[in-house]
Each structure stands twice: as C-alpha cells, then as structure tokens.
Structure 1
Amino acid sequence: MLQIFIRFFSLGLISFGGPAAHIGYFRQAFVQELAWLDDKRYASFVALSQFMPGPGSSQVGFAIGYHRGGLLGGLAAFIGFTLPSFILLFLFAVTSTQLLDYPVTQGIIHGLKLLAVVVVADAVWIMFNQFCKRKPAILLMLFSVAVILLFPGIWIQFALLILAAVVGRQWLSSTATPAEPTKQRIKLNYLWLSIFALLFVGSTFIVSENISASESGLVSLFSQFYQVGSLVFGGGHVVLPLLQASVGDAMSNDQFLTGYALAQAVPGPMFALAAYLGAEIWIEQPLVGALVATVAIFLPGFLLMLVALKSWHALSARPHITGAIAGVNACVVGFLLAALYNPIFSSAVKDNLDMALVVIGFGLFKVLKPNIFYLVLSFAVAGAVTELI
C-alpha cells in the first residue's frame, strides 16, 4: 500500500496538463516502467473510465491501484494522486482573503482566469471534434447550449442528460454488429451499485429541498458534490458547469472562477477544485468542508468503477448503451460551451487587452503546444504586469 501511495503521490506532484496528460503519465509509469499491468489491461481501464461518469484520469488511477492491491490499493492510489492538489487548493482557500489585498495577487488571479478561457476553449474544440461527428450529435450539442443559456440549473442539466441518452440510444447507436453480443454476460457488482444508487437517491432528495450547504449542514454539502460527481461524463473541465449550477448560489461568480483558475495552476485532477469550494462554503471548519466535498465528488465515479470493472467488455458490446453514452457526450460538449460563455468568458474578459491575451494564448496553445506549467506562469506574469501598469 505504501508503494502504491508513494508512486501516485509523486505523479500527483508533477501531473500538469489535465486528464489526457495524466493518462499518459500513468501509462509511462505503470505499464512501461513498473510493469504493474500490460497495455491491454491498461486500455480496458481507460475505456471504462470514458464509459462511466466521474473523473476520468482519477478513475484510471483508482483502477490501477485496485488491480495492484485491491480496494485498499485503489484508495491509496486516489489519496496519493489527489493529496498534492488538495493541499494546495485548500491553502489557497484559507489564505485567499489576505492574499487578495495585494494588487499583484489580484493581477495573477485575473491572468489565471484568462488562462481558464483558453483551456476551456481548447477542451470544447477537442471534445466537439471527438464527440460531435454526426448530425444528431451536433444537434444535441446545439440544443443543450441554447437550453442551458436560457434556463441554467442543475435539474435542467439532469433532464438534458436523460434526453440525450434517449436520443443517442435511438440515433447514435453503432450500425456495426458487435462480435458475439449475446454470448457476453454482464456480471455487475450489485453491492457497490446499491450503495451508489442509495447515495444518489438520498442526495437528490436533499438537493431538491433547495437548502444551501451553509444553512443545512455537511449532509447537504456532501449531497451537492456527490450529485455533481454522479452526473459528470467526460471528467476534467466538464465538471465546471455542473459545479457552478450546484454550488453557485453559495458563493459569488468571482469566488468560483478564482477557484477554477487556481485549479489550472496546480497539478493533479481537476475535481480537486472541490477542496477549494468546500473550504469556501464551510467557512466554520474549512478543512472539514474541503474533505467532505472532495470525498463526495470522487466517490460516485469510484463506486461505478467497482460495479463494472469485470464487465466492461460485455457493456461496450451493447450498441444501444454506446449510443446512449454518445448522446450524453454530445450533450456535455454543449454544457461546456455554455459555461465557456457564462461564467468563464463573461467574468474574465473585461477589455480589448484581455481579449488579445486570450487570442494569443489560444494560438500558442494550439500551435506550439507548450507545457501547461509554462502557460500558467506566462498568464500569471501577464496578469500581474497588466494590474501594476
């Protein structure tokens, strides 16, 4: 367990670049260097993480830890990989009030908000090209953008996800006949499925009461983040619109975007943003709030991985299931595009200079493909300089 923890902790310290980069780091470390598993097994973990809601790269890491050391191994992998970003974002949350008194700090944060525009725009670009190749998928994406911009809210998003799954099942199912589809038996772990379902139903009931976490306690805080973790397909930046819809009432747009911008500047999983948000919401005991929010947002994805780790081949052979997932993926591209406009772009870009920095940054990001660390540093410096002058 200690070996698993140390290996993932060391990766958590240096893993900039988002889920795609994390998956590359994992393959290099655990397939090529350590030979804990082969390429075929690793590819199956990656495929399953794309199939399930939750934080994709963290689910792959959890699966590797589970493969190596059972359930405790999976937990050791999760804690090790997430701990560096958790600590950094928690410290940012508890010191942000004092730090924001300095103009340089305000400039750095503004620069990181502009970087968030670049990063999310790139994510929309990539995900559109990946998930919106067919006309029904494009129409689903456009419809979800329009609805979310007109009627923002987590329940609207939930309804759109269900609609997208139905449309995808009907019009986005693979036309190819899978090999031996009826001979592959699906063996799900119903214990973990029951735990996931009970927590999801309970969290949905609590969230439906429309009581903020600051008023009703840690149960409500857990419920809000658990529900978000249950509904996020695609991981990474896709968590942004659901989080904003879920906890946006508990803090200002500026606070929320500051946390998101800071999450760009630290290594590790994007879902660790929950540490910052939990600490900001539960100000009486920020460490408790950060821990509850972080556990809640990661837990659904891990429970679903445990449900289906032994059945992913059979699940992926069902055309209607893959069609439903294709519809959901197209829908979340729309969610992300709507979030790119509001609150990210509308809150970050204030004048022509900001827009110029975004355009230049996006061009550099797409053409030169610099290391994300250098991009973070560049935008932080640019923000500080523009604030001082």
Structure 2
Amino acid sequence: MNTDRSLKSFMEILLVSTRLGFTSFGGPVAHLGYFHEEYVRRRKWMDERSYADLVALCQFLPGPASSQVGMGIGIVRGGILGGILAFIGFTLPSVIALILFALVLQGLDVSDAGWIHGLKIVAVAVVAHAILGMAKKLTPDLNRKSIALFALVSTLIWQTAYAQIGLILLAAIIGFLLYQQHESKDDSIISVPVSRTVATICLTVFFSLLVVLPLLSELSSISWIAMFDSFYRSGALVFGGGHVVLPLLEREFVPTGWLSEEAFLAGYGAAQAVPGPLFTFAAYLGAVISGWKGGLLATVAIFLPAFLLVVGTLPFWDSLRRNPKIKGALMGVNAAVVGILIAAFYHPIFTSSIFTPIDFAFAAVLFSMLVYWKLPPWIIVVTGAIGGWLMTYL
C-alpha cells in the first residue's frame, strides 16, 4: 500500500513538472510564478512561507535559481528521487528541443517569430500575478515595504549579480536587527526526507569536483572530461541565472574552438524560444560539439552543481529558518526578494515584451484570464502564442 502511494506520488511529481517544462516560458522569474501557481496555490504542496524561504535560499546559492526551487520542491515532496524526477520533468522538454535544433535546424531563425513575442507577454501576466501574491504576504508592514523598495531601486541602478547578492545580505542584516524579537504565528515546517549525512556528502562532492575535474582535464586528453569540467564549473560558479552563465559558456567554448561564434549565437536564439530553464542552452552546445550524447552530458554537468547544493543545504535549512533571529533575517531577505522580482519584472521582462498599446492590452487580457477567470496556465500559454502570431497581421 505504501509502495503504491509512493509510486503514485513519484508519478505525480514527474507529470506535473513535465507539464510545467512544456509550458513555462519567460525566464527564471516567470518560472517562479508558474511554480507558485501550480505547487503553492493549486496543489498546496508547500505553503506560502515555506515557498518564499525556499526561493530565498536558492537566491543565495550559485546556479539556476528557478531550477533549484523546482528541485527543492521535488525533494520536499519525494526525497532525492522526487528532486531528480522534478528536474527531469521540468528540464527534458527544452533539452530535447535544443538537441534537435542543434542536429537539424541550426540555420532556422525563430527569434523574431510572432508567437514567441506572445509567449513573452504571457510571462508579463504570470510574473505580475506572482509578485502581487508574494508582496501581499511578504511585505505587510512599512519596514518590509521600505526594504523591498530599496532592493527594487538598487537592483535597477546596479544590474549585476554581485549587487543582488549584496542586497540580499544587507536585507538579512536589517531584518535580523528589526525582527529578531518578532513573534510569528506561521510555524510552517519544511519536512525534508534527506538525512544530514547525505547532505554533507553532497556538499563534499560539490567542492571535490570543483578541484578534481580541472586536474583530470589537465592530465587527460579525453575530450569528454574536459567538456564535463567546463560545463560543471560554469554551473557551479555563476550567480544570477541563465543570462549570466552565457558569457562563461562563450569563454569556455568559442575561443577554444569547440564551436563558432555564429553557432553559439544561433543556439542562444533557439534557447529563448523554448520553455524551461535557460541553462538547457548547454544541451545545444553539447550536441553541436559531440552529438546527442554530448547534449545529455552537458545537461547533466551544468545542472549537477545545483542539485548537489540543494540536497546539501535543505536538511539544515529548516532548523535555521525556524530560529527566531534567523527568522527575522529571512523576513528581511524575503522583502528584498520581492523588490528584486519587481525589478526583474520591469527589466528585462516588461521592457522586452511590451512595446505598443496592443501589447499592454493583450497582457491585461492574459492577466485577467489567469487571476480573475482562474483558467489553467497552459491555456494562458496557448492563448499567448496564438495571440502573438495574430498580432503580426495587425
């Protein structure tokens, strides 16, 4: 009976994450909106506070934050296997699409297609909905509204990953000072079915690979090891999401002759057109270099650091976040995350999607369909793609 329940739970994680993998367009901030809608609002797999704290944790960690949040939800729901299934479901659709593009359609330019513009407008509606919900919960008083405003303004003025990390640390200190005696009625607990021993092993493996892989690459002439090393380091040493990893990947593979600048840019255009995490751009690069096997190897290598870090930190995270002083710091961090998300909503999501009054009107329609008519997200995605295509004829 328990086995049947576990199998059903694993299948549910895989199916739900796969559907999100097919429909989650718009980049990491939009993905957090889709996750919030599906996992928190609809399925109640995690409460608002736990989700916000998980997002805050993943903002601290290097790697693709939205993918790490998805992995974390899978781990909380079904242990390490649940995290793996959540990762596979969310990532595989775009991995397959980009490998196929690398093998067959390298000359096709889809970056200016009307339906892609429609999907960008979908992201505007989804992110606006997520931010409104999170702001209501996470910035209820003037102090936290002020922290969010400061984070918003600072993020727009200094648009670097390091500025974002500094803001989060500063918000943690401010929250610690302001709310260390705060009595919270929300005692939600994230139950993580992973032991601290396993977590420690994962953290050890993460740091060991950072040291061992470059040495193996230097000592060996095997191209697969060098390729794995390059993708692993790119995934382990980047803060700020997929767009930040692109310069790292270009430095690793274009000057060294693995692939041409033209092939690199063609893949980047294709990566913008597919759902799921932008880190799956690695699948395209790997497939150009070494076929479909190279695409799969690159995908595993670039996401492995993120997975090891999430498994390694989650078992310690719950006890830390329930400490009253740490709780105060998290309240400050969560308020700052709201400001950072609003900044990301404006640039690049709004500025790269809304160019005309018709675009804004269409975004308002999609927002209403999602928020007031309560239609499923996949209907919003399909409507956005069709509407974007039709708008090219106006």
TM-score (ref. length: structure 2): 0.68
Aligned equivalent of 1:273:
277
CA contact (8 A) 1:110 1:383 kept: yes
Contact 1:108 1:384 in 2 (8 A): yes
In structure 1, the residue matched to 2:301 is: 292
1:357 aligns with 2:362: yes
Q: Give the drift of 1:58.
A: 3.4
Deviations 1:198-240 (CA, angstroms, capped at 9, x unpaired): 847997xxxxxxxxxxxx9644543443456xx7xxxxxxxxx
**Partners of 1:43 and 1:386 in 2: how far apart?**
36
Q: CA offset at residue 296 of structure 1?
A: 2.8
Number of the residue aligned with 1:156: 163
State whether residues 176 and 328 of structure 2, in contact with CA within 8 Å, keep that contact through their aligned partners in structure 1: yes
Deviation track 1:319-375 (CA, whole Å, cap 9, x = no partner) reads 110011111111111211111111111112222221221122223322112110111
- 2: CA distance, partners of 1:134 / 1:50: 21
Tell me, what secondary structure is at the counterpart of 1:347?
coil
* AA partner of residue 158 (structure 1): I
> Unmatched 5+ residue regions in structure 2?
24-33, 59-64, 186-194, 211-225, 251-263
2:243 corresponds to which residue? 244
The question of whether the paired residues in 1 share the 8 Å contact of 2:271 and 2:281 is answered with yes
Deviation at 1:118, TM superposition (A): 1.2
**Quick one: structure 1 residues 5 and 332, their matched pair in 2 at CA, closer, same or farther if it must change by over 3 Å?**
same
C-alpha distance 242-103 of structure 1, shift in aligned 2 (>3 A): closer
1:91 and 2:96 aligned: yes
Q: 1:355 is matched by which residue type in structure 2? A: F
Counterpart for residue 326 of structure 1: 331
CA distance in 1, matches of 2:157, 2:202: 35
Q: Is the 8 Å Cα contact of residues 103 and 388 (structure 1) preserved in structure 2? A: no
Q: 2-side partners of 1:343 and 1:116: how far apart?
A: 11
Q: What's the counterpart of residue 212 of structure 1?
A: none
> Aligned partners of 2:149, 2:38: CA distance in 1, in Å?
28
Name 1:168's counterpart in structure 2: 175
CA-CA distance at 1:307 after TM superposition: 3.5
**Deviations 1:91-134 (CA, angstroms, capped at 9, x unpaired):** 23234573994779812211111111111121221121111112
Q: What is the Cα deviation at residue 22 of structure 1?
A: 2.4
How far, CA to CA, are the matches of 1:122 and 1:257 in structure 2? 27
Structure 2 match to 1:110: 117
CA gap 1:23/1:367 in 2 versus in 1, 3 angstroms: closer
1:55-98 deviations in Å (ceiling 9; x for gaps): 445323213323xxxxxxx23x2232332332211123234573
Q: Take 2:142 and 2:114, find their aligned partners in 1: how far apart are those partners? A: 42
Paired residues of 1:131 and 1:330 also in contact (CA < 8 A)? yes
Are positions 1:341 and 2:332 aligned together? no
Q: Distance in 2 between matches of 1:200 and 1:256?
A: 29
> Who is 2:254 aligned against?
none
Confirm or deny: 8 A CA contact 2:234 2:248 kept in the other structure. Answer: no
- Give the corresponding residue for 1:368: 373
Task: Say which of 112, 133, 136 aligns to 2:140.
Answer: 133
RMSD of equivalent CA atoms = 4.0
Q: Is this contact kept in 2: 1:140–1:327, CA < 8 A?
A: yes
User: 1:42-67 CA distances to partner (integer Å, 9 max, x unpaired)?
Assistant: 9998797467436445323213323x
How far did 1:193 drift? 4.6
Partner of 2:39: 22
Contact between 2:36 and 2:130, CA under 8 Å: does it hold in 1?
Answer: no
- Aligned-partner residue type, residue 290 of structure 1: T
Corresponding pairs, count:
327
In the alignment, what sits opposite 1:266? none
Instruction: Kindly indicate whether the alpha-carbon contact (under 8 Å) linking 2:109 and 2:266 is maintained by their aligned counterparts in 1.
Output: no
Equivalent residues in 2 for 1:72-91 (5 A)? Answer: 74-75=80-81, 77-91=82-96
AA partner of residue 308 (structure 2): L
Task: Say if 2:231 and 2:302, in contact at 8 Å, map to a contact too.
Answer: yes
Counterpart for residue 232 of structure 2: 222
Give, in angstroms, the shift of residue 168 of structure 1.
Answer: 0.8
Specify whether residues 248 and 328 from structure 1 end up closer, same or farther in structure 2 by C-alpha distance, changes over 3 A only. farther
- Stretches of structure 1 that go unaligned for 5 or more consecutive residues are 29-38, 67-73, 179-187, 204-215, 232-240, 264-271
Q: Counterpart in 1 of 2:73?
A: 60
Q: Secondary structure at the match of 1:348?
A: coil
Counterparts in 2 of 1:130 and 1:248: CA distance versus 1, 3 Å:
farther
Match for residue 381 of structure 1?
A: 386
Q: CA deviation at 1:10?
A: 3.2
Q: Is the 8 A contact 1:140 1:164 kept in 2?
A: yes
Q: Tell me: CA distance 1:52–1:357, structure 2 relative to 1, closer, same or farther (3 Å).
A: same
1:294 is displaced (CA, Å) by 2.7
Shift in alpha-carbon separation, 1:85–1:227, aligned structure 2, 3 A: same
Identity across the alignment (%): 19
Distance 1:316 1:108 in 2: 42
Counterparts of 2:295 and 2:109, CA distance in 1: 23
